Amino acid sequence: MELRRLGDFDENRLGRAHQRTREILKFSPLLTDAYFHYTPSQIMFGALSMADEGLAQRLLRDALANESESAKNKVLELVQSCRAVLEREPPERRTTYWGADVSKETMKPLNKKLRKCRDPDRVDLVALQKARREQAQKKTKPKAPMKDDGDVFGTSNGTKKDDERDAKRRRVAANGSDTFGPPL
């Protein structure tokens, strides 16, 4: 759309570049490390550069019109490095890549797992729940004997520490009716 806005290119050239760029973007970045090293706009410019170098140069020149020469060179180098990464896996390999025996064998177990995750109707939920119940019954531990309140909260055994605690409680209660102390 941006190139059409500039208006000085043939519509057929733009259509071919657009189609080729889409083919590149559907395949090359997925098989390379492009998504880890470049932003989406840099990947788009790299793919456009692969499809039609002249269109990419013109679009970048127009977008960077107000930038310094060093900034323009830096962006152009970045786009060229992204292009080099994308060229490692050209879209022409798409048909041979997925048809290779090695990739088919690698994908079989992954597809099987994926199908199981995607289609919960095929999973036997009744058997799954039954297995979970059986596992829970096997794991049940004998219950520990119940503890007294005194074991949990501590009771007065007649020790000095317990007596001090009781004295503190009486002082707080005697100072006011508010158990938690005076208002702030």
Q: What is the pLDDT along the chain (184 residues), one digit of tens a residue?
A: 777 787 777 888 888 999 999 999 988 898 888 999 999 999 999 999 999 998 898 888 888 888 899 999 999 999 999 999 999 988 887 766 666 666 677 777 877 777 766 666 666 777 778 888 888 888 766 666 666 666 666 655 555 666 777 777 766 555 556 666 667 7
Residue 16 in domain: yes
Q: What domain range includes position 13?
A: 2-96
Helix (H, G, I), strand (E, B) or coil at 68: coil
List b or e across 91-103, with b for residues whose CB sees 16 or more CB atoms inside 10 angstroms.
beebeeeeeeeee
Residue 62 in domain: yes
Residue 46 in domain: yes
Residue 81 in domain: yes
d(CA 91, CA 96): 10
List b or e across 47-72, with b for residues whose CB sees 16 or more CB atoms inside 10 angstroms.
bbbbbbeebbebbbeeebeeeeeeee
Domains of the chain: total: 1
Residue 142 in domain: no
Residue 70 in domain: yes
* Contact (Cβ atoms closer than 8 angstroms) between residue 71 and residue 115: no
